[in-house]
Amino acid sequence: MPRIQAPTVAEHHARMERALLDAARGLLAEAPEVPSMAAVGRRAGLARSSVYQYFGSAEELLAAVVADVFPEWGARVADRVAAAGSPAERVWAYIEANVELFASAEQAVARALTRVVEPHVLAGPMREFHARLQVPLREALADFGEPEPEAMAEHLDSLIVQASRASEERAPDGPDSPDGAAAPGSSALARLRRLLGPYLGLSADAGAPAAPQPQTGRR
């Protein structure tokens, strides 16, 4: 066993496991292929033999990555929504958080996982992730007065995906754009703002919504 680098064995184990998960995610972001246990160990600062003390196989490691990333991504979005103020601000915070997540290196991790993880391993966590992800959006829409929050949430998610993919396809240099270039996802947010601004009562030049405008069918 590697030298203990924490007050307790349990804490040491948790730290090493965290390092291995982060290493695997980093490798997946760079290449959509199953990372070798040796490569994961090198990135985490452990010998290949030590990696097997935490994960019995590459498949077990990938399953642990799946179990790790989806709750983290969902919490990232939920925290952004919770920090917003009015219902309209919460809806826009959800949109911003998702577009930014889509434009980040985490999207490369998501793509890699769909290629290297068995579908039956990925299906359950993905369903749970998407179901939980929409909860704060639906609540915000209901508080906003949207008469069909579930249907509207589905439409918004579709718009987020379409706008983000369009921005990604148009970006000449991808996420490593030169200094001074627009931030990844900014064009998607601009288009979504033009489309959804009137619905949410967003001001033309700021992220915070203006005074809510009456909506047909609003409670």
DSSP assignments along 43-77, one per residue: HHT--HHHHTTT-SSHHHHHHHHHHHHHHHHHHHH
Q: Tell me, what's the pLDDT at 6?
A: 58
Q: Summarize the confidence of residues 23-50 as an average pLDDT.
A: 93
Enumerate residues 6+ apart whose C-beta is below 8 A from 101. 73, 76, 77, 107
**Percent over 70 (pLDDT), the chain:** 82
* Domains annotated on the chain, with CATH: 1-56 (1.10.10), 65-200 (1.10.357)
Residue that is written with structure tokens 């990844």 in the block:
184
Q: Summarize the confidence of residues 32-52 as an average pLDDT.
A: 93
For the ranges 26-40, 91-105, 107-121, 159-173, which has the lowest average pLDDT?
Answer: 159-173
Q: Please give the Cα distance from 161 to 6 (Å, whole number).
A: 42
Q: Summarize the confidence of residues 139-148 as an average pLDDT.
A: 97
pLDDT tier at 56, thresholds 50, 70, 90: very high
For the ranges 14-23, 173-182, 201-210, which has the lowest average pLDDT?
Answer: 173-182
pLDDT tier at 104, thresholds 50, 70, 90: confident
Q: Summarize the confidence of residues 19-23 as an average pLDDT.
A: 95
pLDDT tier at 214, thresholds 50, 70, 90: very low
pLDDT tier at 184, thresholds 50, 70, 90: low
**Percent over 90 (pLDDT), the chain:** 57
Kind and range of the H or E run holding 84: none
